[in-house]
Amino acid sequence: MTATLINVAYLIKRPTILDVAARAGVSKSLVSLALNGSPKVSQERRTAILAAAAELGYRGNSLARLLVSNRTRVCGVIVGDFHNPFYADILDGIVSAATAADFRVLAGAGLHSQVVNTAEWLLEFRVEGLFLLGVSLENSELEALTATTPVTVVAAGSDALAQGADTVTNDDYLGARMAVEHLASLGHRHIAHMAAPHTPAGLIRQAGYIDAMSDLGLRKNAQVYDAGPSEEDGYETAKEMIPSIGGITALFVFNDFAAAGVFGAIKEAGLSIPDDLSIVGYDNAHLAGTRYMSLTTINQPQQSMGELAVHALLERLDGTRAYPKKYVIAPDLIVRQSTRKR
Amino acid sequence: MTATLINVAYLIKRPTILDVAARAGVSKSLVSLALNGSPKVSQERRTAILAAAAELGYRGNSLARLLVSNRTRVCGVIVGDFHNPFYADILDGIVSAATAADFRVLAGAGLHSQVVNTAEWLLEFRVEGLFLLGVSLENSELEALTATTPVTVVAAGSDALAQGADTVTNDDYLGARMAVEHLASLGHRHIAHMAAPHTPAGLIRQAGYIDAMSDLGLRKNAQVYDAGPSEEDGYETAKEMIPSIGGITALFVFNDFAAAGVFGAIKEAGLSIPDDLSIVGYDNAHLAGTRYMSLTTINQPQQSMGELAVHALLERLDGTRAYPKKYVIAPDLIVRQSTRKR
DNA sequence: GTGAAAGCGCTAACAT
DNA sequence: ATGTTAGCGCTTTCAC
């Protein structure tokens, strides 16, 4: 019997503000006022209204409310790859900053291929701004979005600016230089780079590597191995690299996933990190922090990036800034056990 | 100038169905019909209306639409820890199954402590059902939710059933048995267990371990180390365990994170996996699959769990089932390099 | 085929 | 302090 009741509850129309009004014996406006905590409701009525609402299990209808108020105080997020905790960290920053600004965060979860679709859908809920995390859109697609809503592209989209979106990225060039300089400071002269030349960030990090080597007078020792961003990429490329180890004493890898692949190949070859090869990664992924890998890496301050993204949105919303702006944030070096003096 | 225009666009009221009607020189009802593809609109008018809508950059207002139709075809998800890719995999399953059923998925991202709050907020958007991933609520809190909405608790909440929620979990008992049986089949007799006795799943897995050992006639060799679910837990406990290695030849660890901690401790001790100790984890976390760890583990079929969760919701929604139901799904063993014959 | 009109549940003037 | 009223943007009868 209980179960039947429960089931029926899903079908029965939910109580509305009118039902509450009737039960409390007042008008619906008063209910609205009371529910929104207006001071001009008598204590007596307020109590009665709140009681009635509770008895009825009344729950406000955002849809209706937002329809009239026309401000939602909701921002939408689309995460390109929510399997990657990296974006979760950024989302954390967004959520806390948004909450502080009295905004709610709605994440649209759609099929991977349907970013635009999901974005459009989110916009139909009248989110006041959109955050794209690690999502790269076609220029025309992005332009269509920015035409009607403030969009902030985080951790991706090097040329999003031209399409009217704000961007928040870490300084890949600087980060790469920091990695190289760290290795050089440990006495390494033969520092190679495992690159991801097919990604925008990969090209910038590679440029940082080259320039750092030049500035250190090590340009002639520079050596770039083309790989990619995945563990598989790192593993395969590292296997080819094995014979050169010894000549090469240190390696700066495009990111931590690829570095994990290098760890695997090195282990298989019976060599040791950092005894035979010092390694620096990038991104400070979760696995980099485990004691087993303990990978020295370049950390992107994701929390700050998320907060900055919210900041950018608020500027747009309150009219402080009308032009798209590029926010770049400095990364930092995290030294662990994968690098040592030579 | 362009920038100014763009900025203004955020402030100007969005075009409504009425604007489209005016521009196309028809009534708003006709616009609605045309937009929804009704067959009883003349070809001529339809074209005009669609053109007008395009020119105006018209975008429907879900809020208004849903307000009248009173069905949203949206389900809400709350992820306890979206940093854990484990839940992302489940979310994948939910998204694809929901999409197939013509449902959209909205993830409420709130502060960690505000699960109930976020849930309530999602409900104000009239989501038709709620998925809680890895979230454990107080009984009373959960009960309040299930009273008005179908709720499916995934990968958590052993006693959620009693509060009226559907549950989808993997069979922890079976998984633990599989782990032990795998080790026994490799010839191990002294198999220890590193447990997480403060978690519901931990207790079940421990029970599975004990029973499996008994059934194999190895009960006297059973040894349980109390740890916890984190890498830190695994590391600390493993350090205490080191002297016993040799006597113990195999270890079944509560989950992969803790197992990663064990890897770290073993490495520090100068020992080797699997030469000195065979290890089986649980959950098939991302790091378990890296070549560097290559951890044999018990995989929870997250994709299926997500799909099952959607299935459960649909049953509730279409009235097929009125009682809460417990769905349990069998895990599977993934053999990698961390276990070997002895 | 097409338009007029009545709400969906709520907020926000405006009255009282 | 409380009630009345007019919409918010849309769908959906119901006439024409």
The Cα B90–Cα A205 span in angstroms is: 34
pLDDT tens digits, one per residue of A137-195: 999 999 989 988 899 999 987 788 889 999 999 999 999 999 999 999 999 999 999 99
The 3-state DSSP class for residue A171 equals coil
pLDDT of residue B105: 93
pLDDT tens digits, one per residue of B284-316: 999 999 999 999 999 999 999 999 999 999 999
pLDDT of residue B12: 55
- Scanning the structure block, which residue is given the tokens 């080819």? A240
pLDDT tens digits, one per residue of B26-79: 999 999 999 888 888 999 999 999 999 989 888 888 778 888 877 788 999 999
Encoded tokens for A44 = 């007596």
Is there a contact between A63 and B61 if contact means CB atoms under 8 Å apart? no
* Nearest residue, CB atoms, B148 vs list A9, A63, A294: A9
pLDDT of residue A210: 98
Instruction: Say yes or no: A69 contacts chain B, CB-CB below 8 A.
Output: no
State the average pLDDT over residues A130-141.
92
pLDDT above 50 (res A309): yes
Encoded tokens for B256 = 């992969």
What does DSSP say about strands A278-282 and A250-253: parallel, antiparallel, or unpaired?
parallel
> How close A317 comes to chain B (CA, Å)?
8
Encoded tokens for B333 = 């063993």
Q: Which helix (H) or strand (E) holds B252?
A: strand B250-253
Pair A110, B99: CB distance under 8 Å: yes
Full strand arrangement of the beta sheet holding B332-334: B223-226, B191-195, B250-253, B278-282, B296-299, B332-334
Q: Which residue is nearest to nucleotide C11 (CA to C1')?
A: A68
Is there a contact between A104 and B110 if contact means CB atoms under 8 Å apart? yes
pLDDT tens digits, one per residue of A4-22: 334 444 555 678 999 899 9
pLDDT above 60 (res A224): yes
Chain A CA closest to residue B69:
A63
Encoded tokens for B134 = 């890895």
The Cα A80–Cα A87 span in angstroms is: 8
Q: DSSP readout, A229-284?
A: SSHHHHHHHHHHHGGGBTTB-EEEESSHHHHHHHHHHHHHTT--TTTT-EEEEES-
Encoded tokens for B50 = 């669609």
Q: DSSP readout, B212-226?
A: HHHHTT-GGG-EEEE
Considering only residues 48-87 of chain A, list those whose CB is below 7 Å from strand D. Answer: 64, 67-68, 70
pLDDT tens digits, one per residue of A31-69: 999 988 888 889 889 999 999 998 888 888 888 888 787
pLDDT of residue A6: 40
The Cα B297–Cα A110 span in angstroms is: 29
* Whole-angstrom Cα Rg for chain B: 27
Is there a contact between B6 and A319 if contact means CB atoms under 8 Å apart? no
Q: What are the residue ranges of helices labelled H in chain B? A: 2-11, 17-24, 28-35, 43-56, 62-69, 85-100, 115-124, 139-146, 172-185, 200-215, 231-241, 256-268, 286-289, 302-317
Nearest CA to A138 out of A173, A168, A121, A113 is that of A113
pLDDT above 60 (res B252): yes
Dihedral sign for Cα atoms in the order A27, A31, A34, A38? negative
Is there a contact between B293 and A292 if contact means CB atoms under 8 Å apart? yes
- Scanning the structure block, which residue is given the tokens 């074209």? B47
pTM metric for this prediction = 0.87
Q: Which residue is nearest to nucleotide C7 (CA to C1')?
A: B68
pLDDT above 50 (res A128): yes
Burial of B321 (0-12, 13-18, 19+ CB in 10 A): middle
Residue A86 identity: F
Pair B123, B149: CB distance under 8 Å: yes
pLDDT of residue A10: 54
What DSSP state is assigned to residue B151?
E
